[in-house]
Structure 1
């Protein structure tokens, strides 16, 4: 099992995943702002190099100063389109899989991916700072669970590497698919 799933307890109480996995926590944090501001804040937070961790008595959305500009690659049209979509569907649905499913017990007997797999990561992705993650990936231990794995790092990329370098990511994906058909 990847170390990130086991070691969240090693991160401070204000760790964003610890906060958002609890029912009502994200809802209260997000409710203070309109959808557009929440999305903008998430893009700002997840484009940084550090793990989003709030101080005691603060919320995750408090980590973004109101004057902080959105990442240059995240255009106003993008923000407007995402806002319209999330105003219809709500913001809570996307929290179910990455955050709220963490407390569920999984009964997968042999958790191995046996098909060719491509992972494209930013070299500055804050996820690499989760306890044990960088070592898990760099040491090759991850290949015990993903038997035919190719990992490509885009050195200047952060958590949204696909939006920072869309041409490079598309080329990597299409090349991978051509090599595995």
Structure 2
């Protein structure tokens, strides 16, 4: 599939195709994403993010190689793009890490489970507010 020639099809496959809850993406949502990706340079920029990651572009954190801030990682257990095993070992780089796995959820956690994601964020931010 040449993405540039059929952005709406690509968007539907990427979002609804990978989602566990297909209803999380309305036709209007998909049209909005398609319109955004159709803007000059947008598709290239979006794809270059993933190309850079695949080439090891995220390896260098600088400094001592650790994230020193409290960090919440919310992950869909059925993420086809980045499997749950991708998170294993993260705590060696993020000592103050809290991982919340969402069962029966894909890569699109915020679209498929917005209430659960929001509750996790509010609890995390409230807990870390005075630290």
- What secondary structure does 1:118 align onto? strand
d(CA) in 2 for partners of 1:96, 1:147: 29
Q: Kindly tell me: are residues 31 and 71 of structure 1, through their superposed partners in 2, closer, same or farther at Cα, counting changes over 3 Å?
A: same
Among 65, 76, 99, which residue is 1:122 paired with? 76
> For 1:98 and 1:113, how far apart are their aligned partners in 2?
21
Corresponding residue number in structure 2 for 1:31? 4
Mark the CA change 1:85 to 1:93 in structure 2 (over 3 Å): closer, same or farther. Answer: same
Give the root-mean-square deviation of aligned CA atoms: 2.4
Q: What TM-score, normalized by structure 1, do the two folds share?
A: 0.60
| Cα shift readout 1:107-151 (whole Å, capped 9, x = no counterpart) | 53522111000011112112226xxx35x62xxx32111110000
- Normalising by structure 2, report the TM-score: 0.80
Deviations 1:11-39 (A, max 9, x none): xxxxxxxxxxxxxxxxx721342x21111
Q: Is the 8 A contact 2:18 2:107 kept in 1?
A: yes
Q: How many residues align?
A: 125
Query: 1:122, 1:104 → 2: CA distance?
Result: 23
CA change 1:142–1:100 in 2 (3 A) is closer
> Using a 3 Å threshold, how does the CA distance of structure 1 residues 144 and 100 change in structure 2: closer, same or farther?
closer
> Any stretches of 5+ residues in structure 2 without a counterpart?
none
| Runs of 4 or more consecutive aligned structure 1 residues displaced over 4 Å after TM superposition | 104-107
